Structure 1
Amino acid sequence: MTVSFKQPWIRSARYDGLLILAPPFLALLAVLLLPAPYRHSARMPLLAWVGLVVLIDVAHVYGTLFQTYFDPVKRRERQLLLWVVPLACYAGGVALHSLGGMVFWRVLAYLAVFHFIRQQYGFLRIYSRYDTPAPGQWLNTALVYYATIYPLLYWHLSPGRNFTWFIEGEFFQADWPLGRFIATGLYVALIAAYLIREAVAWRRTRWLNLPRNLLLGGTLVSWYAGIVWFNGDLAFTLLNVVSHGIPYLALVWHGGPTPRSAPRPVRRGAWAGRYGLLVFLGAVALFAYLEEGLWDGLVWREHGRVFGWFQSLPAVDNAQLLMWLVPLLALPQATHYVLDGFIWRRK
């Protein structure tokens, strides 16, 4: 039996394929072309750090502004949420930092991990929105979650890695080979079960949900290769940042999925008009540069060559001042993590 279904693209096969589904595979290709030391060491060239961390990782955080504060309609609709979330994030950050800097960074790291995992689940829901109920459909959700959780378990159950999420020591780690073996067995079993289910579906209908399968394949590739297969800071950052940041910016620019018969989302406010894309990309890059410059001038003092103008700022090392400053500098990030749990929800 052959069944004809419309593929559930967000915008189009070309747009989704290039900007949402291809980044993990392109990032893996880039890692495979790197010299071996960059795949298995903590070395990170400065230019790569600027391109990946500043212009993608930090910049994508500010994409949330265009779905919230910079959109006049959504700003009115979510006025209370847009006030409460940043205030609550800052208050919570100060409270955590008062217990110790590591407490703050540890909680923020686990919040970031949760956000990254939920983004993959969110894309899965989008690309499954036309699926009809079928036996074994739970494997979609199980696999997208475990495709991200298994590499994190491997990280937590392994000795020190050559990369961190934010700072050294943020994750709880213990070398437990048996735990890694059990986690790996479940990982392989879930992948096998999913592939068998898809093969059976193909044999029955001669149709596969292409974007959903590419999304799951990209999630498996980026998380496994970035954390388990390779053990290098540049490899991890490439796979982690490109696979997360570029699809998010693409989703923000398009405005999210729409029903089959609905028109494309309308852009309003700061990114409307002929030069909207330039405004959008220029704004997120500028905000990212300013944020990282403040971090470097006031706290880290690690990239003076990039943030020369900010080196005249006083370096803050007083614990009491840091308790108020660090959560403030991290506020765009924390707000992005929390708001994203609300702004993409659809009935």
Structure 2
Amino acid sequence: MARLLAPAQSWLFSRGVDLAVFAGAALVSVALVLAAPWLGAVGETPPWAWVLLVVCVDVAHVWSTVFRTYLDGEALRRRPALYVSAPLVAYVAGVLAYLGSAGMFWRLFTYVALFHFVRQQYGWVALYHRKARVSDFERRLDAAAVYAATLGPVVWWHAHLPRAFWWFVENDFLSGLPGWVGTLALTVHAGVLAAWAGFQVARVARGEGLQVGKVLLVLATWVTWFGGIVLAEDDFTFTVMNVVLHGVPYFALVFRYSRGRHAEGGYGPFALLVRAGLPGFLLFLAALAWGEEFLWDRLVWHDRPLLFGEGGFSLDSDLLALVVPLLAVPQATHYLLDAFVWKPSRDPALRARLGWHSGAREGSPRGTMTPSPVAVTRPTD
């Protein structure tokens, strides 16, 4: 019988949390899609699903970054230039793009978002690598598997435009890619994933065990990206598959971090938001997300009167060039900051706040991570 890795290495958060936020998110996504005919959700995403998935998961997870950044005075003092420049750069770049054309802005924003979504899936795998000694070959193979699971369907999508759904707005992806390129992309993606799966089987056969959470993460990534893009027939399916696996694990990560930071006495007057527990944490973020979407609807879209009321403001194109990039700043800032703030090598305190400490020499890229006695609570508590 092959042995598993030590529990601390097999799971990123804990067995229960990893199963819930990675495997569970994928299973819930599939269940919602299968139940769509009974939920009245075939075709366009209905209002209840839009509130639950887009507002309370997708937009709310964007705002959760504030617990890692702007609500933490210590973080602001450590990297003031980063936290000031990120929203400014996002806004200026957005205005310049929108002045070119609205289509240019949304196309740029779409590809930045796509890059972020793909990189986040690899980021989870990289965090798993921090918890166990893995070879350079395994690191590269894991990376190839994640990129195959995400980019293979995306390239196929580009070769089969238009579809019944878009990322943000109609025609946000570049079109014109021939169909055979999409077929080739899926063929390569299948080969890479088959090689990755074979490697996992070989590990078990050799008695080396598995990093179970990482394996489930890669499988969940493939299920949601292939199912949400290649198999999807409508906007609801794409929305479910696109946002649940992306947003739910991020909530777990930020909440785990915020609990660790709060245990150190962090957040000052904002500590109440952490002491309120997971329900308070999520309600606060949902309120911010609702406020943002209210402004989008009243100032730009005017397409959800049932949720946000009739009317709003009709802005001319010059004013929209200032308002639309401004409303996009929270999301764009989230994309930018995520590339910096979750790297343990740049912030040694991050390990302890996530409930880990290094058992190897400081700075060793393969230091085995074991649970820290400082953080004994779990995000689902």
What is the TM-score with the length of structure 1 in the denominator? 0.91
**Aligned partners of 1:179 and 1:36: how far apart in 2?**
36
2:314 corresponding residue in structure 1:
315
RMSD value over aligned CA atoms?
A: 2.1
2:363 corresponding residue in structure 1:
none
1:302 corresponding residue in structure 2:
303
Letter in 2 for 1:63: S
**Aligned partners of 2:314 and 2:320: how far apart in 1?**
10
Equivalences for 1:130-209 in 2 at 5 Å? Answer: 130-133=132-135, 135-174=137-176, 176-209=178-211
Q: Any conservation in 2 of the 1:60–1:284 contact (CA below 8 Å)?
A: yes
**DSSP 3-state at the match of 2:195:** helix
**Aligned partners of 1:275 and 1:322: how far apart in 2?**
38
Q: Which range is displaced more, 28-37 or 67-76?
A: 28-37
1:334 corresponding residue in structure 2:
332
Deviation at 1:265, TM superposition (A): 2.4
1:238 corresponding residue in structure 2:
240
Q: Any conservation in 2 of the 1:226–1:235 contact (CA below 8 Å)?
A: yes
Q: Any conservation in 2 of the 1:21–1:247 contact (CA below 8 Å)?
A: no
**DSSP 3-state at the match of 2:339:** helix
Equivalences for 1:265-276 in 2 at 5 Å? Answer: 265-267=260-262, 268-269=266-267, 270-272=270-272, 274-276=275-277
State the aligned residue count: 336
**DSSP 3-state at the match of 1:22:** helix
Q: Any conservation in 2 of the 1:38–1:233 contact (CA below 8 Å)?
A: no
1:220 aligns with 2:218: no
Q: Any conservation in 2 of the 1:271–1:280 contact (CA below 8 Å)?
A: no
Q: Which runs of 5+ in 1 are unaligned?
A: 257-263
Q: Deviations over 1:122-175 (max 9, x none)?
A: 100111221331655421110101111011101100031111111000001236
Change (3 A) 1:3 1:90: same
1:325 corresponding residue in structure 2:
323
Q: Which range is displaced more, 272-281 or 210-219?
A: 272-281
Equivalences for 1:238-257 in 2 at 5 Å? Answer: 238-255=240-257
Q: Deviations over 1:75-98 (max 9, x none)?
A: 221221110111111111111111
**Aligned partners of 1:12 and 1:131: how far apart in 2?**
18
Deviation at 1:37, TM superposition (A): 11
Q: Which runs of 5+ in 2 are unaligned?
A: 346-381
Equivalences for 1:7-46 in 2 at 5 Å? Answer: 7=7, 8=9, 9-35=11-37, 42-46=43-47
2:77 corresponding residue in structure 1:
76
Deviation at 1:278, TM superposition (A): 3.6
Q: Which range is displaced more, 269-278 or 139-148?
A: 269-278
Change (3 A) 1:212 1:4: closer
Letter in 2 for 1:133: S
Identity level (%): 37
**Aligned partners of 2:333 and 2:136: how far apart in 1?**
37
